[in-house]
Amino acid sequence: MSLVIGLTGGIASGKSTVAKMFADLDIPVIDADVIAREVVEPGEASYKQVVDVFGNEILKEDGSIDRPKLGSIIFSNEEKREQLNQIVHPAVRKRMLKKKEDYLSQGEKCVVLDIPLLFEGKLTFLVDQTLVVFVDEKTQLKRLMERNQLSKEEATDRITSQMPLIEKASLADEVIDNNQSIEKSKKQLLDLLKKWEVIE
């Protein structure tokens, strides 16, 4: 019996840290963000669509997409953000599913789909269990400001552009409380994997 876990969280909640813990346990992690970058590389179908919609001014000199520039356009404009999502999300989903099937057919008994917008994108049907990495608002704000050198206002904007973590936690099958040390988060993960019979 194989288990597909949907891992999600919010910006600066520590989701990547937990994804690395899975990887360190030799559990394959399929990262939606990595795939989202791959599908808009020059030569990909989605790349052409993004350039058609947003114009050549979002390109760097080497022809690749200038992600910060594109980010600044879509952060403040919901319509543009929606346009981008409609191009990128289906391509990402297709590639993630293909990777998931590949791993399962190789006999992996657990695969993690690391999807930031698991609930917003209504993608829970892709997984068997959902796992949210949770921190309280104050911790999230502090970590994001430190990590990305953002002002309080910029950090707050980014956090409020996402579904609140407390809401995600209420929707999840399981939650890892990442307010404390990495060791404590790791212990929670190991306990969960035992409960799910992924590890002994």
Which domains are delineated in the chain? 1-28+110-200 (3.40.50.300), 33-107 (3.40.50.300)
Q: Rounded CA gap, 154 and 48, in Å? A: 30
Query: Which DSSP letter does residue 135 get?
Result: -
Q: Which run of H or E residues covers position 94? A: helix 78-105
Distance (Å, rounded) from C-alpha 138 to C-alpha 74?
25
What is residue 6's predicted lDDT score, i.e. its pLDDT?
98
Query: Is 98 within any annotated ligand binding site?
Result: no
Cα(179)–Cα(139) distance, rounded to whole angstroms? 7
Per DSSP, which regions of 44-154 are E strands? 110-114, 129-134
Residue 174 and residue 192 in contact, taking contact as beta carbons nearer than 8 Å: yes
pLDDT digits (tens, 9 = 90+) for 107-164: 999 999 999 989 988 999 999 999 999 999 999 999 999 999 999 999 999 899 889 9
Half-sphere exposure of residue 177, counting CA atoms within 13 Å on the CB side? 4
14 marked ligand binding residue:
yes
Q: Is 17 annotated as a binding residue?
A: yes
Is 16 a known ligand-binding residue?
A: yes
**CA separation (Å) from 76 to 66, 92, 158?**
17, 23, 10
Find out whether 91 and 97 touch, Cβ atoms under 8 Å: no
pLDDT per residue of the chain (200 residues) written in tens, 0 to 9? 799 999 999 999 999 999 999 999 999 999 999 999 999 999 999 999 999 999 999 999 999 999 999 988 998 888 999 999 899 989 999 999 999 999 999 999 999 999 998 998 899 999 999 999 999 999 999 999 999 999 999 999 989 988 999 999 999 999 999 999 999 999 999 999 999 999 99
